[in-house]
Amino acid sequence: MTAILSGILVAVLVAIAASFGLAEIQEPAYERFATSGTRVGDPGENLVGQRWDGLNDPAQAQAEE
């Protein structure tokens, strides 16, 4: 019984130590992968066209082609 309780206690202590250690190392993705070459001004304008109204209608898409 003592071995089980000491094992649980050690596991809890390791988890707490790991959480503090990882909190110091981690940084958000928007900070980690921020570069000067990445620019997102108006992401929808250059992907779907100027007249896109936001509706996904295959019949309308064929008519415009």
Q: What is the pTM of this model?
A: 0.42
pLDDT digit string, tens, across residues 1-53: 999 999 999 999 999 999 998 888 888 777 777 676 665 555 555 566 667 67
* Interatomic CA distance for residues 60 and 15, integer angstroms: 56
Q: What is the pLDDT of residue 43?
A: 53
Q: What is the pLDDT of residue 12?
A: 97
43 sits in the region (left: phi over 0; alpha: psi -120 to 50; else beta) called alpha
